[in-house]
Amino acid sequence: HESCINKLRMRYIEFLEEQRMREERNSKLLGALERIDSGLAVMSAKTDKLCTLK
Point out the least confidently predicted range of 11-15, 35-39, 49-53.
49-53
Region 18-24 average pLDDT: 99
% of the chain with per-residue pLDDT over 90: 94
How many C-beta atoms surround the C-beta of residue 39 within 10 A?
A: 10
Res. 22: pLDDT tops 90? yes
> 41 exposed, middle or buried (CB, 10 Å; 0-12, 13-18, 19+)?
exposed
CA dist 30 and 16 (Å) reads: 21
Res. 54: pLDDT tops 90? no
pLDDT at 42: 96
CA dist 36 and 28 (Å) reads: 12
